[in-house]
Structure 1
Amino acid sequence: MNQGSHSARRGRWAGCCGWSVFAALCVTLTASSASAQSAAPRRTARGGDLAAGAAIDSLFDSAAEGSRSDAPVKKALNGQTSKASVRPQWTARLARNPKPDDGNPPYVLIDRYGGIQRYVEPTPTVNLDHYLGQTITVRRDTGHTLLASQLELPKVARPAGAIVGGSGGDVRLAAAEIPLEATPTLADAPEGADAAKPAVETLPDPIPDPQTMVDGDSGNWVDEHGNPVNMSEGADPLYLDEGAGPHLQGCSTCGSAVCQAQGGCGYGSRPVLYVRGEYLAWWTEGMDLPPLVVRGEVGNNGTPSDPTDDFFTNAFVVYGNQSVLDGVRSGGRVRVGYWLDDYGQTAIEGEYFGFGQIDEKFTDGGNGTFPIVGRPFIDATTGYDAVEDVSFPGIRGTVAVDIDSKFQSAGIGLRRNLCCASGNTCCGDPVTCGSQVGGCGAGVSNGPCATLFGKGTRHTDVYFGFRWAQLQEGLAVQENLEVIAPSVDVGTTFQVNDIFQTSNEFVGGELGFIWDWDYRRWSLELLSKLGIGSTRQRVNINGYTVRTEPGGAPETGSGGLLAQDSNIGQYERNELSVLPQLGMTLGYKLTDRLKLTGGYTFLYWSNVVRPGDQIDLEVNPGNLPFANPPDPDGLPARPQFTYRQNDFWAHGLSAGLEYQW
């Protein structure tokens, strides 16, 4: 089936006029009413879809069920409802809506007396201006408002821009069913009509009796110039379900080939395959750090001539006690989808996005006299603040802090259409093709965006699949020290290392909804997903110290400063997590297949472990490698490891291109 749709779509996308650009975007969205789909076997609804359709309609439609009515028709008929009822095929004449600001579609069907029988909403592939004033057959009557695809249009269209009817220009509609003295006049020609065309064209046929039953004509299909068109057996050039068939009358009002691309609801309304690539500029929640590096002054303890009793005083933090890695990150996202049927009902969709590794480095130190630099901790034996010297009388050195982070995620699942609405229409939902989920009416609730979103095609899809995400981060602190006079260890060097690494891996199911709207070149997509699953938390702590005496071989001891034998090790556990996403993407078609996109996404991930949270500042100095003197029993055994988990969020902007087949 997909093979046949390929060739049909290539025909629809063939040549058109130039581009048209307009800028209109409303933030407050109201809901879309569902549009009936073709009665093809593959569109047969299952009972479960009705409940899902009702649930999603309740989220997007604020109008109460039963609150919509045929009030505009009653008002036009001075309180009298049209005598036309829902019935099999019948005929009427096509005219423009004389009151375009009343919130109803721009076209109407009138009877012999000028009374409004139905409102008509155009579809992207049918230009109703070609058929003004002609007799139209209603082949599927659903009441109040009809789609152009529910009409059986004449096989020879009137040339675009022709003026039909009298010179008055306005449609004369009957307040009641009283015969008029003259035939009702129809709308003036559109602006810019060719002045060489005749000003008035005689109506080609008498106004039919609206109750007349008609049979479909047979014969060769012809285009607007009278040339025969070869159609395959069983094909209908205008009514391949919701008007999505080949467009034969050109593109006089759309301005580009976009009007012949996918659109509406039904057969061929969606592409077979779509690929979207985007550049990401996101911000993430920063990593919290304890105090890691301080500066201060030298206290001489009352004996200035004896530096051995000097102490570190008036310390202040120069690095740590802050959040890091909270700047913008660059990354990419790729999304690929394939529709499994020709009606845009079910698709398989995969996505991957991630960021390259981001890191941050800090270095400080001195020559033993300036500046005075150290690493802070809490003495577990006394409970007092303490400092390990980096640059202090008798020792010189540097301290470096290196932090890195990497995030990526992927998902795959099925995308199932719940409802589709094309134009300002009410013709039932695609789940049952008859019962309107959430009430019947104009198709879009009243509001500032009703006029805009009532013109396009709206889909609501449910998504269910699997989600994987990974967050890997690390924190390393390294000291390079040298003992200087006065000391018996002059020339001895030390390299002290503390390493904290964490890894979080989420695997779980994902459920979400995707709402999209298309109108000519513009499109808008709103996405909400919720992933629920398990996060495997891993923490790796390591530390070591290398001492090298003058002329001697290096010696390596287990433990640094904040990573000791008491907390060194690899730790792992699983925790229940949620991973929701919210997104919005605005699109503009550069060609009938290539779309420019830009959007915003927010992501949240609960219960993750991060390196800065795993640091214990309480240290027993007697347990340090090469301690002099060492603690005989090693108690208290600090630092120690305790799981400390936090949340992670990311949000940012995207820009990219989408290509459709």
Structure 2
Amino acid sequence: METKKTTKWKLLALAAMLSAGSASAADQGNSNINQYYTGAAPVTAEEGEIVYDDVDYSADNMAASFYGDEAQSLQPVAFVGDHQGSSVPTPAPMMNDPYAMSTGSGCSTGDCGNSSYEMASSCGSACGGSCGECSKRPRRKMLQKTDMWMTAEALLWFTQARSTTPLITQNAAGAAPERDIAGTTSVFGGDEAIGGDLSAGFRLDFGKNLSDDFGVGGRFWWLSESSEDASSGGIVDGTANSFGRPFYDTNIPSENSILIANTGVAGSDDFEGSFTAESSLDIYAAEAYARMKMLSGSGFRTDLIGGFSHFGIDDTLSVNSTSIQTTAAIGGLIGDQTDISDLIETENRFFGGQIGFESQINRGKWSFKTLTKVHLGNMEQIYRGSGVRTFTTGGVPTDSTNGGVLAMGDTFNTTALDEDKFTFAPEANVKLAYQFRPNVSMSVGYSFIYWDDVLLAGDNINNVYNGDAITTPPAALAQPASERKDSSLYTHGIDLGCVIDF
């Protein structure tokens, strides 16, 4: 019976040891330490975890630190219930390791003369005496979390292609460049013909954790100008192609065009001339936000995001043309010149709030982050337009009047066309990061943002008027009233960044 009792105690002891080992392994598996470093303490441990400072965690150095430079085998551990001894053997004193310190008169009890280390238990109560040279284990300390962050990213984004009516058209020599004539194509403008190319930019995100559960931050991003342009490259005579500025003539009524350069077009004198056209889009954003922890667990965390948002979206469209008469068979004089300039600018200023969620999952040195939120607020829409015609006869300007092909008059000094509209802008970001050194990660991600209500220049062109007045000074242009048109806009692309925690 005694033998059976001893066996039960052995089994119970073994089960307890296995249970303790499993619990320890589970604790280690559930820790939020992202990785271990050779030669430095793990710097991403949870607050309150005990770590060693200034310790080389490589297997060889750990063995040398705790058991000496010379190879030593581990002492067997006594089994509970066996008759192999009454106590667990004590490991040999740690001698001649990287933390060894010669004893002397400066040695004091308890810390071996250095407050950074504790005395090994085998050294006794003091450094002197028969202990001689004594190694110390590093004093354990509590590792604090990083409480600030900064992310710098390069943006490689594509902005939605924008649409206009055809602004510069061309056809073969001898054919009018009018939209309703076969062979006419658009040189500049058209349906989704402007923009859509890659734009570079940058994004900064920085902030501070005020507690484990709450932090504040700021975010700013900017995209370089997304532009599209076309040019005749100087004066062209129309012998290769005819060029014009199309419009709808209410006098015909039908499609018509202001001839820039043409040769042999029926019912018209010949012209030579030039043109330039350009469209540009600028976008920037500034945000201030707070974040509060909602969920957390082993290797993951979800925060509630809320704060203030501001966006700026500026769209500019300009078209300039010069037409010089080279024949006078129908009317006018050779050398008569018509210069027409149009400029349309729209500004969109969003002021509002944001709300959303940010989640992060950590697995070793890798982390995956998602950010989804929506911006809600007021979009201030501003329209500014200017059109000017200048006529020159005999080399001397004879008249200049408001009104071009795209913009009637000058609206830069009025706010009558400005409006405020409530709008929303959903945003989504995903990011994969790799921590290649303590507190520093490199990331690659994807971003998407969409604005529901934006005023764009190309949507607010009204090139419908009485065509017989466009080149006959000083007749006024008559144009039907047009309505403001709002549209949506989105931008998306790749983010390449560096994340620094400190």
Question: TM-score, normalised on structure 1?
Answer: 0.55
- Per-residue CA shift, 1:66-125, capped at 9, x if unaligned? xxxxxxxxxxxxxxxxxx9xxxxxx9845489xxxxxxxxx5259xxxxxxx95453256
Q: Contact conserved, 1:463 with 1:513, CA < 8 A, in 2?
A: yes
1:366 aligns with 2:241: no
Q: Is the 8 A contact 2:173 2:240 kept in 1?
A: no
The match for 2:154 is 279
SS of the aligned residue for 1:366 comes to coil
Tell me how far 1:473 sits from its aligned partner: 0.9
Q: Does residue 321 of structure 2 align to residue 321 of structure 1?
A: no
User: Are residues 411 and 149 of structure 1, via their aligned partners in 2, closer, same or farther at CA, if it must alter by over 3 Å?
Assistant: closer
Alignment of 1:260-271 (within 5 A): 268=144, 270-271=145-146
Identity %: 19
Q: Deviations over 1:336-358 (max 9, x none)?
A: 010112xx211111000011223
Residues in 1 aligned to 2:470 and 2:34: alpha-carbon distance in whole angstroms: 82
After TM superposition, give the deviation of residue 383 of structure 1 in Å: 3.0
Tell which structure's C-alpha radius of gyration is larger.
Answer: 2
> Which amino acid counterpart does residue 353 of structure 2 have in structure 1?
G
Residue of structure 1 aligned with 2:220, choices 352, 366, 370: 352
Give 3-state SS (helix, strand or coil) of 2:396's partner: coil
Q: What does residue 421 of structure 1 align with?
A: 297
- 1:475 paired to 2:317: yes
Partner of 1:492: 336
Corresponding position of 2:85: none
Match of 2:260 among 381, 390, 410: 390
Counterparts of 2:77 and 2:172, CA distance in 1: 102
Counterpart position of 2:5 = none
Match of 1:515 among 352, 359, 377: 359
- 3-state SS, counterpart of residue 314 of structure 1: coil
1:119–1:352 distance in 2 versus 1, CA, 3 Å: closer
Aligned partner (choices 307, 318, 321) of residue 465 of structure 1: 307
Q: Give the AA of the match of 2:153.
A: E
Matched, 1:584 2:460: no
Q: Structure 1 residue aligned with 2:275, among 399, 413, 434?
A: 399
CA shift, 1:518, in A, is 2.0
Deviation at 1:492, TM superposition (A): 2.0
C-alpha contact (below 8 Å) 1:462/1:511 kept by paired residues: yes
Structure 1 residue 506: deviation in Å?
A: 0.9
Aligned to 1:357, the other structure's residue is in SS state strand
Q: Which aligned pairs between 1:109-148 and structure 2 lie closer than 5 A?
A: 109=23, 120-122=27-29, 123=31
Letter in 1 for 2:490: W
SS of equivalent to 1:612:
helix
Deviations 1:24-53 (A, max 9, x none): xxxxxxxxxxxxxxxxxxxxxxxxxxxxxx
Aligned to 2:346: 502
Measure, in 1, the Cα distance between the counterparts of 2:34 and 2:158: 46
Name the aligned partner's letter for residue 591 of structure 1. Answer: R
CA distance in 2, matches of 1:554, 1:627: 9
Query: In the alignment, which residue of structure 1 is the partner of 2:393?
Result: 549
- The answer to whether the 8 A contact 1:274-1:659 is kept is yes
Question: Would you say the 8 A contact 2:402–2:410 is kept in 1?
Answer: no
Residue 333 of structure 1 pairs with residue 203 of structure 2: yes
Counterpart in 1 of 2:98? none
| 1:557 Cα deviation after fit | 1.2
Taking the aligned partners of 2:226 and 2:301, their CA distance within structure 1 comes to 38
Structure 1 residue 198, shift from structure 2 partner? 3.2
**Matches of 2:288 and 2:296 in 1, distance apart?**
23
Q: Is the 8 A contact 2:34 2:362 kept in 1?
A: no
* 1:109/1:224 CA distance change after superposition, 3 Å: farther
Q: What does 1:164-175 correspond to in 2, within 5 Å?
A: none
User: Structure 1 residues 374 and 149, CA, compared in 2 at 3 Å: closer, same or farther?
Assistant: closer
Would the aligned equivalents of 2:344 and 2:457 in 1 still touch at CA under 8 Å? yes
How many angstroms apart in 2 are the aligned matches of 1:470 and 1:223? 63
Matched residue of 2:304: which SS? strand
**Is contact 2:342-2:386 (8 Å) kept?**
yes
Structure 1 residue 203: Cα displacement: 3.9
2:250 aligned with 1:380: yes
Q: 1:544-576 deviations in whole A, cap 9, x for unaligned?
A: 012222242453211112222498865210111
- The residue correspondences of 1:424-439 to structure 2 (distance < 5 A) are none
In the alignment, the residues of structure 1 paired with residue 32 and residue 120 of structure 2 have an alpha-carbon distance, to the nearest angstrom, of 18
Matches within 5 A, 1:48-67: none
- Contact kept, 8 Å, 1:366 with 1:372, in 2: the verdict is no
Measure the CA separation in 2 of the matches of 1:491 and 1:375. 20
Q: CA deviation at 1:384?
A: 1.1
Distance 1:383 1:161, change over 3 A: same
Is 2:424–2:452's contact at 8 Å kept on the other side of the alignment? yes
Superposed, 1:34-113 pairs within 5 Å as 93-95=16-18, 108-109=22-23
Higher relative contact order (CA 8 A, sep 6+): 1
Matches within 5 A, 1:3-22: none
Q: Structure 2 stretches of 5 or more lacking a match?
A: 1-11, 36-45, 52-56, 61-68, 83-109, 112-116, 123-135, 264-269
Instruction: Choose the corresponding residue for 2:378, options 534, 540, 547.
Output: 534
In structure 2, relative to structure 1, the CA distance for the partners of 1:558 and 1:333 (3 Å cut) is same
Distance 1:499 1:466 in 2: 33
CA distance in 1, matches of 2:120, 2:32: 18
Matches within 5 A, 1:576-615: 576-615=422-461
Q: CA deviation at 1:392?
A: 2.1
Gap change, CA 1:415 and 1:640, over 3 Å in 2: same
Within 5 Å, give how 1:167-206 maps onto structure 2: 196=71, 198=73, 201-203=76-78
Paired with 1:650 and 1:529, the residues of 2 have a C-alpha distance of 15
1:211-230 alignment, distance < 5 Å? 227=136
In structure 2, relative to structure 1, the CA distance for the partners of 1:223 and 1:463 (3 Å cut) is: farther
Distance 2:190 2:375 in 1: 33
What is the count of residue pairs matched by the alignment? 406
One-letter code aligned to 1:387:
S
CA RMSD of superposed structures (Å): 3.9
Shift in Å, 1:580: 1.3
Distance 1:656 1:573 in 2: 38
| Residue equivalent to 2:267 | none
In structure 2, how many angstroms separate the alpha carbons of the residues matched to 1:488 and 1:125? 84
1:520-559 deviation digits (Å, cap 9, x = unpaired): 3211111111111111111111100122222424532111
Structure 1 stretch displaced more, 604-613 or 291-300: 291-300
* Counterpart-to-counterpart distance in 2, 1:519 and 1:640: 62
Change in 2 beyond 3 A, CA 1:645/1:126: closer
SS of alignment partner, residue 438 of structure 2: coil
1:331 corresponds to which letter in structure 2? G
Larger proportion of strand: 2
One-letter amino acid matched to 1:292: L
What is the deviation of 1:149?
11
> Hey, what does 2:163 align to over in structure 1?
288
Q: Which is worse superposed, 562-571 or 460-469?
A: 562-571
Letter of the structure 2 residue corresponding to residue 332 of structure 1: F
